[in-house]
Structure 1
């Protein structure tokens, strides 16, 4: 499979970035909700250490994906059979997913910096973790997680609708099956 996209299929680079990011986001959501409910600071710091590292990796992958589309490759055009409203909805959901990821990364970084938790999580400091709810980026981070879940469900729902209801094999464009 070529690195760059073709007229009807995404290339190896965007496919790899997509699926790695998708799996990492699932892990981030699970670990974030798990950490939010923990009271044991040592265990919570351990989860946050992984959560923050993966979060920074997702930020880097997202920026790389944006740069890839701007400077290196072009997305395959939508199938001609796709109604205009579905093209618009797809573009909106994809754009909002990028925006949500960037806002989640920004609010996470801001929360760690403002609260001083980075020193505790990464081992340079000692003491209990701060109450993250006292810092304004925490509210945005929580709302961003809910937005990310809603957008992901819309994205996955649309993909499954195309695959199993319309049977147009749209998932093959993203490396799942033959086109």
Structure 2
């Protein structure tokens, strides 16, 4: 599989970064909700993992945007209605925008609360019961829920193309096995 995409399919870099992003995001979402109810050392561990994975996901998102802008191109769109193209475009732009908003609001929460000091020092008292009573918390929560909605829409679109239209939309983003 070529590193860069062609007019028929995505390249290895795009495929790998897509699925790695998916795995990171699918780990971050439940962890983000679970850590709210955790206490003590468990809460500290969850926060540390969430922050670390969130930063990696954010850097990967920026890498993906740079990759598309400077080094690669997307395959030609498959036949679909104008409305479907518009929904797909809005969903993809929305996913990138929400991911960036999550990273920015996460960094802002860490900077404006005791969370950063608690994560570095390991002082559980700094993150209990909840250090996050700062304005970026609301933005982070809203963005997390919006991300869930966009992911459902993205997945529904991929499965619609795969099972209903039976076109190559999904297979173009799968690793080539031959």
Normalising by structure 1, what TM-score? 0.93
SS of residue paired to 2:50? helix
Distance in 1, Cα, partners of 2:141 & 2:61: 20
Match of 1:95 in 2: 93
Q: How does 1:1-179 map to 2 (within 5 A)?
A: 1-38=1-38, 40-79=39-78, 81-123=79-121, 127-129=125-127, 131-175=130-174
Asked if the contact 2:113/2:132 (under 8 Å) is kept, the reply is no
Distance in 2, Cα, partners of 1:126 & 1:91: 43
Offset of 1:177 from its aligned partner? 6.6
Distance in 2, Cα, partners of 1:159 & 1:8: 16
Asked if the contact 2:44/2:124 (under 8 Å) is kept, the reply is no
Distance in 2, Cα, partners of 1:149 & 1:177: 28
Cα displacement string for residues 128-165 of structure 1 (whole angstroms, at most 9, x for unaligned residues) = 31534421111111111100000000000000011011
Aligned-residue CA RMSD (Å): 1.6
Distance in 1, Cα, partners of 2:56 & 2:152: 22
SS of residue paired to 2:164? helix
Q: Gapped runs of 5+ residues in structure 2?
A: none
SS of residue paired to 1:122? helix
Offset of 1:126 from its aligned partner? 6.0
Distance in 1, Cα, partners of 2:61 & 2:152: 19
SS of residue paired to 1:100? helix
Question: Hey, which bits of structure 1, 4+ residues long, moved more than 6 A?
Answer: none
Distance in 1, Cα, partners of 2:115 & 2:131: 9
Normalising by structure 2, what TM-score? 0.93
Distance in 2, Cα, partners of 1:133 & 1:111: 7
Offset of 1:77 from its aligned partner? 1.6
Give the total of aligned pairs. Answer: 176
